[in-house]
Amino acid sequence: MSAPIQSTLAVPSIPHWIGGEAVGGASSRSGDVYNPSTGCITATVPYASAADIKACVAAAHAAFGKWAATPPLRRARILFRFRQLLESASDQIAEAISREHGKTLSDARGEIVRGLEVVEFACGIPDLLKGEYNENVGTGVDAFSLRQPLGVVAGITPFNFPAMVPLWMFPVALACGNTFILKPSERDPSASILLAQLLRESGLPEGVFNVLHGDREAVDGLLHHPDVAAISFVGSTPVARHVFHEGTQHGKRVQALGGAKNHMVVMPDADVDEVVDALLGAAYGSAGERCMAISIAVAVGDACADQLIERLAPKVKALRVGLPSDGQTEMGPLITSEHRARVCDYIEAGVGEGANLLVDGRIGYAGKPGGFFLGGSLFDRVQANMRIYREEIFGPVLGIVRVASLDEAIKLINSHMYANGTAIFTRSGNAARAFTSAIEVGMVGVNVPLPVPMAFHSFGGWRSSLFGDHHIYGREGVRFYTRLKAVTQRWPRELERRAEFAMPTMK
């Protein structure tokens, strides 16, 4: 693989955001931010030091008391203003995402829309913060419950959705009364600062939302800091496992969403043209760099597989790969040259293990200087013992597995270590019902290739795709970012005052 192009021009440094303002930070360490379409360095980003982490947590901690005491409706009004500003600035943020990530502008705009939906949900959270009340649970005794914020919470987010995933976290956390520290990916950090600026313009008090850039040192600093009450994470399974174990060992509440290997079952009665269009978008959209991407198509029957391949392979070959700014582009570059090399290694491994490579995405792209482009690849006759089946590739590679029955497809999917998302394409209600009932996966689609739940539901997988007890956003998000307090009270009359030494009971 060719090395990234080094720009000779001075590049800006993307700051931290601490206490309501841009801060350069105290660390001498930094990283380069690339434009994946050109291979050029476009910016640098500081990596937080221990002093930066301390200052950031201190700012969030100092702001917590007043923000938690702010009436929920007033917090919601700030988020509503933020929602309006975010919609107005969506093109600017999409351009920043496309420049640093490489996804097409339409895809970048789409992720902002999905993030906006969670902001809209968060504006209605005051209703979900209501507790329960029971009058007269005992003579003259009433009981009620409260949902109260945790304190300083942090979100650690991946490169593939630099706006959407943070928007899945902090609007819910802020609406519940917490203060928030975002540690975005160092690969594409600009969107996080644009969001911080919009929050300040919305009237959010200083220190309520903060951005801390960095690598593992920043992550571990947040995991170990005693004033951080909870951690939300989205990324790979090895890191999710580390975040969960380190965070919980340090007494924190943790939700850590990990990797995926999402299967689409194609039944013989499915509309093949509909399936092909769904697979093109679900497998190759955003260059396959989605945790909900379909990377395995499970064809039920050889005839179904043959028909699928006949119509799918030519369209994979014809995918328009190019600059994200070009309205005709269907797939942009991968995030880094290292990641492109990793995906190419998986393609080579698939060939070596005996899978049938029908479309080789390396042709015309691998080793090409400049941007980190790669075409779509398509494998047939993938087996469950192959690396390209077992492991998450996170690139534009789709494998077809052939099975004899729906039961065999279900058994195959339920045996995989990942259980994030899955889908079935069929015209049979009986097949769909049997699949949705028996499948052991967190998110299921029926004739929907990317079953990402709406904001008022919740997102999360099973098995090695999620560590922790709570899914992200929706009602599950409200539960994660709050804790329950139960109050039992009595206001006795003057004559009833006396000491009680026996165990209290409700008579």
The catalytic site residues sit at 291
Question: From start to end of 198-316, where are the E strands?
Answer: 209-211, 228-234, 253-257, 262-266, 294-300
* CA gap 278, 263 in Å, rounded: 13
- Token output for 32: 């380069």
* CA gap 113, 107 in Å, rounded: 10
Give the residue carrying structure tokens 């003579």: 139
CB-facing half-sphere around the CA of 475: CA atoms within 13 A? 4
Q: Is 93 exposed, middle or buried (0-12, 13-18, 19+ CB in 10 A)?
A: buried
* CA gap 297, 341 in Å, rounded: 24
Query: 207: which DSSP letter?
Result: T
Displacement of CA 353 from its chain's centroid (Å):
32
Q: Which residues contact 54 (CB under 8 A, 6 or more apart)?
A: 225
3-state helix, strand and coil shares in percent for the chain, rounded to the nearest 5: 40, 25, 40
E strand or H helix at 16: strand 16-18
Q: Is 380 exposed, middle or buried (0-12, 13-18, 19+ CB in 10 A)?
A: buried
* CA gap 275, 413 in Å, rounded: 19
Residues 288/280, Cβ–Cβ less than 8 Å: no
**DSSP bridge partners of 466:** 257
Give the residue carrying structure tokens 């600035």: 89
Residues 308/276, Cβ–Cβ less than 8 Å: yes
Residues 262/293, Cβ–Cβ less than 8 Å: yes
